[in-house]
Amino acid sequence: MTAPYKRIATEEAFAPPEMVQAYFDLIDKDPHVDPGLKSAWGYFGRNPSPRALAIRERLQDLGARRIADMDAAGIDRQIIALTSPGTQIFNADVGRHMAVLANDQLAAAVARHPDRFTGLAAIAPQDPAHAAREIERGVNKLGFRGVIINSHTNDEYLDDAKFWPIFEAAEALGTPVYLHPNTPSRPMIAPFLARGLEMAIYGFQVETGFHALSLIVAGVFDRFPKLQLILGHLGEALPFWMYRIDHMHAASVGSGRYKNWIKLDKSPSETMRENFHITTSGMPWAPAIRFVQEVMGEDRVLYAMDYPYQYVPAEVTMSEQVPMSDATRVKFFQSNAEKLFKL
């Protein structure tokens, strides 16, 4: 599976064993446990199926098995980040502890395998000031090349200005923020749970697309114009809705319909094209990839696998067979990631 470029997979997950155990403790002991956590980790953590077992084992491996899987699929490098819901399901004290623990474990693995692994810093948004300091530690001391945020934090979203020290730190350091899915928050999850749609089949995309669009309309990218946000799964559907989002946003601002909406410096689609990067995680589908490359620009679309949740080596070949020029294919698999993550 050699190729005239490196295959860099840009949304690949891990989980410290201590954090997995902490999830179990919440599920077993907290009568008010988040229903999304109970659904997700009740399955991944304890379901006896071969799929669930393989995922939880692979998540906790930052060594030989992961590298063997990469070799089998032809992946040269993984951009590795803390799995969902990460630290963000805990109270602030536990969240801070888990962020530091996860970052130290990932940094040690990157040091052992510097040619194969690159890390993103985990944070606990529950404490924005600590989160900003942990971003700085991750970048300046641990050598990380970005930040992972697993969407909502105990049902709160980052359009609330109290969280904006996180974006201030990321922009100042020139490090991108990966906004990764979580199950829908408590106020929205009930109809998804009732239909089995709360996770990657649909709920993840709805929840994270909502979150990213909330950041746009709140003016985050006016306040932090150099901030770069990464969305997986071909943009959580937002690229496909860009025209209508622009139209309805302009109409609503022009009519003064929502008093908390402000006139933005750019349209939502311009913000996406200038401040967003899109990965293909779990979506090796040629028509969709080509569409997103067209509307976002080929410099802003990157390959990802979504390891270990969708570890299907054949999908690497599917991605390589997407019609594009040789120069664009190098960008897609290698050079866009090298530029974004400063590899």
| Whole-number Å distance between alpha carbons of 48 and 67 | 25
For residue 210, how many other CB atoms are within 10 A of its CB? 17
- DSSP output for 189-250: HHHHHHHT-SSTTTHHHHHHHHHHHHHHHTTHHHHSTT--EEE-TTTTTGGGGHHHHHHHHH
Amino acid at 5: Y
The residue annotated as part of the active site, out of 34, 127, 159, 306, is: 306
- Measured between alpha carbons, how far apart are the two ends of the chain, in Å? 22
Residue 310: exposure state from Cβ atoms within 10 A (0-12, 13-18, ≥19)? middle
| Structure tokens given for 288 | 């969709």
Is residue 331 classed as helix, strand or coil in its secondary structure? helix
Contact 152, 182 (CB under 8 A): yes
For residue 336, how many other CB atoms are within 10 A of its CB? 23
The length of the chain, given as a count of residues: 343
Contact 151, 188 (CB under 8 A): no
DSSP assigned state of 298? G
Question: How many Cα atoms sit within 13 Å of 113 on the Cβ side?
Answer: 21
Chain position carrying tokens 């954090």: 19
Taking alpha carbons only, the member of 45, 18, 77 closest to residue 307 is 77
306 is catalytic: yes
| Whole-number Å distance between alpha carbons of 60 and 66 | 9
| Whole-number Å distance between alpha carbons of 323 and 305 | 18
| Whole-number Å distance between alpha carbons of 37 and 21 | 13
Residues catalogued as catalytic: 306
